[in-house]
């Protein structure tokens, strides 16, 4: 009977980089028709379970399976609720022995992200039909971690009405959590004299579909905006007299077609005009600080 990759596969994924300690619990649920493979790639990482549809090919002569690009959580993500994905494709070889059947190989980032997203090595073992799926394993772990504690009854506390966040508030809250997960690289300190300053953001060079989120004083002011070479992202900020309160931070939502995420920021008031080149990636944000100075005194004869 011809060998196929149809079935349920389970393995632990390890990042191929020094000092990486976080593992991925991985599962493939595959169906093979001819040389076409479809199914699911599911994984559990840190505090989240993720499921992705997959499609690929299996070559019988070489026993090689290729899986098309799927999103995989970046290995340095601290909280998966606000993490970023790496686009990765799979390259695996089927090995059959009396002891076990395995699919061994790696999920590898595309060329645009190869210096950011390290390979994920996985040795999948074929499971029997009655063995638990990854979702069942995760649910079981959650049950084992839940303990019931008996406490003495206490007087009921007044019930507070639930705080309901608007979609806009939730987006802003999530974005403000994300930006704190990366370090800020202070590029320039700019002197301005007006209370209100205009900010223009362009793609720095050629249009490669960079998108960015911008924060001012730790508050989101622009969300996932496409950087263009001609039509800027334009907005105004109010400059505080306290210098530390005037930080503009650019957060890279992606790395575009040509990493890293790069932009040209033009800062303008009535007395000044600055052009600052910014660069950000999945580890650092680009920051510019505005410093309020006195307006020049005009002398009259």
The domains of the chain, with CATH numbers, are 7-143 (2.40.128.120), 173-292 (2.60.40)
Asked if 287 contacts 248 with a C-beta cutoff of 8 angstroms, the reply is: yes
How confident is the model at residue 139, as a pLDDT?
Answer: 82
- The whole-number pLDDT of residue 174 equals 80
Selection from 275, 257, 278 nearest residue 210 by Cα:
257
Question: What pLDDT is stored for residue 82 in this prediction?
Answer: 67
Q: What is the pLDDT of residue 19?
A: 53
Global pTM reads 0.49
pLDDT average per 10 residues of sequence, the chain (301 residues): 84 74 87 95 88 93 93 80 82 90 91 77 91 86 60 57 69 82 91 92 88 91 90 91 84 87 94 94 92 74 55
Output the pLDDT for position 114. 66
**What per-residue confidence (pLDDT) applies to 85?**
83
How much is the pLDDT for 296? 66
Radius of gyration of the chain (CA): 26
* Amino acid 105: pLDDT: 94
Q: What is the per-residue pLDDT for 301?
A: 55
């Amino acid at each position: 009977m011809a060998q196929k990759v149809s079935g349920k596969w389970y393995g632990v994924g390890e990042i191929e980089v020094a000092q990486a300690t976080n593992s991925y619990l991985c599962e493939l649920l595959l169906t093979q028709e001819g040389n076409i493979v479809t199914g699911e790639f599911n994984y559990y990482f840190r505090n989240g379970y993720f499921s992705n549809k997959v499609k690929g090919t299996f070559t019988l002569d070489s026993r090689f399976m290729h899986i098309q690009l799927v999103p995989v959580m970046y290995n340095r993500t601290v909280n998966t609720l606000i993490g970023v994905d790496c686009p990765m494709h799979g390259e695996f070889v089927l090995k059959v022995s009396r002891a076990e059947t395995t699919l061994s190989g790696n999920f590898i980032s595309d060329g645009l992200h190869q210096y950011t997203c390290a390979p994920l090595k996985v040795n999948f073992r074929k499971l029997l039909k009655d063995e638990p799926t990854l979702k069942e394993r995760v649910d079981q772990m959650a049950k084992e971690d839940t303990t019931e504690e008996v406490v003495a009854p206490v007087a009921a506390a007044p019930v507070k009405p639930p705080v309901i966040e608007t979609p806009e508030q939730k987006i802003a809250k999530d974005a403000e959590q994300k930006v704190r997960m990366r370090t800020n690289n202070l590029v320039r300190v700019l002197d301005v004299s007006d209370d209100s300053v205009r900010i223009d953001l362009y793609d720095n060079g050629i249009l490669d579909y960079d998108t960015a989120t911008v924060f001012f004083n730790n508050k989101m002011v622009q969300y996932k905006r496409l950087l263009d070479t001609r039509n800027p992202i334009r907005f105004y900020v109010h400059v505080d007299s306290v210098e530390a309160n005037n930080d503009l931070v650019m957060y890279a939502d992606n790395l575009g077609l040509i990493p890293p995420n790069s932009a040209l920021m033009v800062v303008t008031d009535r007395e000044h005009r600055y052009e600052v080149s910014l660069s950000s990636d999945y580890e650092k944000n680009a920051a510019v600080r505005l410093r309020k100075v006195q307006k020049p005194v005009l002398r009259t004869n």
